[in-house]
Amino acid sequence: QTRLAESGGGSVQAGGSLTLSCVASDSTYRSCMGWFRQAPGKEREGVASIDGEELSRTRYADSVKGRFTITLDHAKKTLYLQMHNLTPEDTASYFCASKAGICWLPSLTASNYDSWGLGTQVTVSS
């Protein structure tokens, strides 16, 4: 399994911005990669995903469209999530995930991914 390590979380006020990073340990990151989040008492939800071979193929949850951007830097083996105009509803632990094999379609379904990071906390205050 690919080892993934997230960073970049923190506390911001509503309307602020953060950029999360996720470094992958090997080249299996080149398949589907995604960002998920989980708030206390809630299920893990997909936020954004990207096809590692076709970087223009991305998918976003409706709740973050227009505010979040997922990108992948192959040279650094690093997945990013730029988050703008944050709201308290974005408060959660954020996880990156990767899927080995062919990325047929960027997915926001957690069960489609087989490697996970430990997460980074994002807290947005009003």
Q: What are phi and psi of 94, to 5 degrees?
A: -110, 135
Is it the case that residue 13 has pLDDT exceeding 90?
yes
Q: What is the reported pLDDT for 29?
A: 64
pLDDT confidence of 28, banded at 50, 70, 90?
A: low
Amino acid letter at 3? R
- The residue-averaged pLDDT of 73-84 equals 95
pLDDT of residue 111 exceeding 70, the answer is: yes
Report which of residues 104 and 113 the model is more confident about.
113
Return the half-sphere exposure (C-beta side, CA atoms, 13 A cut-off) of residue 63.
12
Q: What is the mean pLDDT of residues 35-40?
A: 96
Phi, psi for residue 77 in degrees, rounded to 5: 50, 45
Measured distance CA(122)–CA(84) in Å, rounded: 12
